[in-house]
Structure 1
Amino acid sequence: MFVLELTYTAPFDLVDELRDDHMAWVKTQYDAGIFIASGRKEARDGGVIIALGNDRSAMEDLTSSDPFTIADVCDYRITEFLATTVASGLERYRETT
């Protein structure tokens, strides 16, 4: 599993121009079963996405296809972790290795 942290590197008005394209890309990842949670950071300087997977290279490739990345308005910090403990109702996301 991965935590994908986006940090804007361009003025907010440029980011906002690409928001619809970014959100369409995000929806595609939800539809593919890759993303399980996402949202903006407070104080609106980026966002956070929880993504399923165990291949860092594949996750790097995926984030490079984000319209925000293509337009160079954000940087991604990719953190891999094993979700060995989960809340009730999230057992299907529990990882054992």
Structure 2
Amino acid sequence: MFFITLKFSDGKAKAPVLMEAHNAWLKRGFDDGIFLLAGGLQPSAGGAVVAHNTSRSELETRIQQDPFVAEGVVSADILEIAPARVDERLAFLKA
């Protein structure tokens, strides 16, 4: 499982122009069964994504395809988590 932060950089002003393409990138991640959650870092610091069902190298490639990353709107940081304890509702994450 992975936790990805997408923190705004100096290119933040380009975000509105790229928002539609960024949202399409997020939709592909959900449609492909990779993304579990996406949302904003508060207050207005960028975004975060929880991903699973992929390898780190595949995820790195996917993240580079995010228009926000490609155009320098955000910088991405990937944290890999090996779940040891989970609520039963999230047991699938241990697989």
Greater helix proportion: 2
Look up the match of 1:60: 60
Runs of 4+ in 1 over 6 A off after TM superposition: none
Equivalent-residue separation in structure 1 for 2:31 and 2:54 (angstroms): 18
TM-score by length of 2: 0.89
Q: How does 1:10-25 map to 2 (within 5 A)?
A: 10-25=10-25
The letter of the residue matching 2:52 is: L
CA contact (8 A) 2:38 2:49 kept: yes
Say whether residues 1:81 and 2:81 are aligned partners: yes
Q: Say how many residue pairs are matched.
A: 95
Task: Show structure 2 runs of 5+ residues with no match.
Answer: none
1:27 deviation in Å?
0.7
Identity percentage of aligned residues: 28
Look up the match of 2:44: 44
Tell me whether 14-23 or 60-69 shows the greater mean CA deviation: 14-23
| Partner SS for 1:15 | helix
Q: What is the root-mean-square deviation of aligned Cα atoms in Å? A: 1.5
CA contact (8 A) 2:13 2:73 kept: no
